[in-house]
């Protein structure tokens, strides 16, 4: 069963970003937009871990953390724009297990979550399947193998990652910028033609293999892995 995370964050964009990445890693995610709502949802769902912003309406993060700690030992990681030592000390004194300062890298957040869960419960979240199978096509990211019509096809890492990402959400259209963000990372400074080049190379490997799926261009928007 997937590990559940409660995100208590009043910045909608940050909350959405955290939710997207955590769900991609196999966590079950619930979001609350203020401290009062966060405490209510905590009591309702009893999550395995809480990501808790400090500066929020209704109740601030320190008050929420103290309330959680008064009734539970559920791991809490504080998120805040404040980086001063006193603020970190206050968060830890409130009962927080860890403290991450904004802006943060998602890789850091994921690593901190796994570390806190490992310390507190000895487990980490179950990962989503890293292998996708369609007619005459297998994309195995653990073995880093692309099998097309029964034959292994040598494929560079970024092409594999791009194909896996598109095929993970069949028929969903992604813009080039979304694909750059998700596959190449937010700190990538290339242009959208990078995506076009990789799609072109993938098509050369996949064209005509099956009538039930294909890499499609959605003109003026981007690309999708279409499954009929």
Neighbours of 122 (CB within 10 A): 7
- List of residues 6+ apart from 187 with CB closer than 8 A: none
Is the predicted pLDDT of residue 125 greater than 60, yes or no? no
pLDDT of residue 120: 75
CA-based Rg of the chain, rounded to a whole angstrom? 21
pLDDT of residue 90: 59
Question: Averaged over 177-199, what is the pLDDT?
Answer: 78
Entry pTM: 0.55
The per-residue pLDDT for range 39-89, each reduced to its tens digit, is 999 999 999 999 999 888 888 888 999 999 888 889 999 888 765 555 556
Most confident of 80-84, 128-132, 212-216: 212-216
CB 118 within 8 A of CB 98: no
Write down how long the chain is: 228
pLDDT of residue 114: 86
pLDDT of residue 151: 93
Is the predicted pLDDT of residue 207 greater than 70, yes or no? yes
Choose among 124, 131, 94: nearest CA to 110.
Answer: 124
- pLDDT bin (cut points 50, 70, 90) of residue 24 is confident
Neighbours of 44 (CB within 10 A): 10
What is the distance between the alpha carbons of residues 172 and 103, in angstroms, rounded to a whole number?
29
pLDDT of residue 89: 60
Buried b (16+ CB within 10 A) or exposed e, 166-202: bbbeeeebbebeebbebbbeeeeeeeeebbeebbeeb
Choose among 78, 71, 72: nearest CA to 9.
Answer: 78
What is the distance between the alpha carbons of residues 200 and 162, in angstroms, rounded to a whole number?
12
3-class secondary-structure state, position 137: strand
Cα end-to-end span (Å), the chain: 31
Q: Is 220 left (phi over 0), alpha (psi -120 to 50) or beta?
A: left
Q: Give CB contacts under 8 A, 24+ apart, made by 217-220.
A: 218/173
pLDDT of residue 189: 59
């Amino acid at each position: 069963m997937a590990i559940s995370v409660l995100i208590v964050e009043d910045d909608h964009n940050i909350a959405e970003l955290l939710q997207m990445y955590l769900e991609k890693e196999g966590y079950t995610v619930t979001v609350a937009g203020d401290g009062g709502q966060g405490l209510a949802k905590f009591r309702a769902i009893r999550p395995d871990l809480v990501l808790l912003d400090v500066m929020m309406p209704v109740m601030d993060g320190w008050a929420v953390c103290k309330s959680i700690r008064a009734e539970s030992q559920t791991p809490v990681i504080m998120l805040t724009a404040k980086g001063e030592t006193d603020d970190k000390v206050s968060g830890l004194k409130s009962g927080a297990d860890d403290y991450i300062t904004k802006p943060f890298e998602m890789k850091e957040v994921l690593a901190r979550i796994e570390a806190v869960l490992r310390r507190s419960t000895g487990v980490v979240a179950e990962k989503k399947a890293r292998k996708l199978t369609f007619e005459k096509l297998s994309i195995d990211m653990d073995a880093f193998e692309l099998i097309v019509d029964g034959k292994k096809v040598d494929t560079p890492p970024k092409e594999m990652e791009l194909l896996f990402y598109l095929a993970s959400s069949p028929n969903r259209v992604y813009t080039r910028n979304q694909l750059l963000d998700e596959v190449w990372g937010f700190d990538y400074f290339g242009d959208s033609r990078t995506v076009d080049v990789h799609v072109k190379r993938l098509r050369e490997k996949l064209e005509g293999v099956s009538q039930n799926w294909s890499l499609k261009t959605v003109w003026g928007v981007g690309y999708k892995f279409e499954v009929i």
